[in-house]
Amino acid sequence: MKRLALVALGFVALAGCASSPGGPMGGPGGPGGPREPMPGLFVSPFGELFFSEPGQPWPVVDWFAGADTDSDSRITLEEFTADGARYFQTLDRNRDGRLTSEEIAVYEEALAAARARLPGAQSREQRPGVRLQGFRSDLNLGLAEPAPQQQGRRRPERAPTGPLGYGAVATAGFFNYPQPVKAADTDMNQTITAQEWEQATGRWFIALDQNRDGALTLAELPRTPLQQLMERERR
């Protein structure tokens, strides 16, 4: 199981950089070399990046604690919205209420740096034939129209590498977005308005509030595929 997890992790990570076949033979993290401990990465529903050192709690707790401003272990829609608005303001560097391509480019630099912090993204070995369970289909609630499921058989509707094939950033969030901020750009005009952000915020909250009680708890939130993989690796 442990070996499978390691191989699978390499599979996931490499999906984000298909042109990098792996590290040097025998080098750290490369084929035959020692495995490096990986930092934890959690990508919030709003695309904010949270890291943790190996052995530390999965960084979803850092996002949660920050968003749960009254510390009652529940993130209400109001708190969720405020967290999203805060991050929007961080991204909106010129404070004009819109995220434009220049501001999005700055964010994408942070995504690239995040990928680079996961050693697996550069060096873990990919092997064919490894398939992992992807995202729970019920998290599509409130998002884009899910593809109709055919009875008894699901056709892969994504890249041939499977539901985890969108790379390390996608696996570190709840919604499998390789570029989470752009997911709010509903009209796809390369600009995200405050209104689009607000509407996306509502969709994401509904998708995550699985028991429909108007608040998110840590227990209710799904473990991301990256978290699942890392936990399997530690066993």
Distance, CA of 5 to CA of 82 (rounded, Å):
36
Burial of 83 (0-12, 13-18, 19+ CB in 10 A): buried
If one asks whether residue 145 binds Ca ion (CB under 5 A), the answer comes out as: no
Helix (H) or strand (E) holding 49: strand 49-52
- Kindly tell me which residue out of 62, 185, 209, 233 binds Ca ion, with binding defined by CB under 5 A: 185
Site string for Ca ion, 88-117 (x = CB under 5 A): ----x-x-x-x-------------------
Look at strands 49-52 and 192-193 and give their pairing.
Answer: unpaired
CA-CA distance, 231 to 199, in Å (whole number)? 33
CB of 175 to Ca ion, least distance (A): 18
What mask, x for binding Ca ion by CB under 5 A, covers residues 40 to 79? ----------------------------x-x-x-x-----
According to CB under 5 A, which one of 102, 109, 145, 187 is a site residue for Ca ion?
Answer: 187
Residue 217 gets the label, from left (phi > 0), alpha (psi -120 to 50) or beta, of beta
Binding residues for Ca ion (CB under 5 A): 68, 70, 72, 74, 92, 94, 96, 98, 185, 187, 189, 191
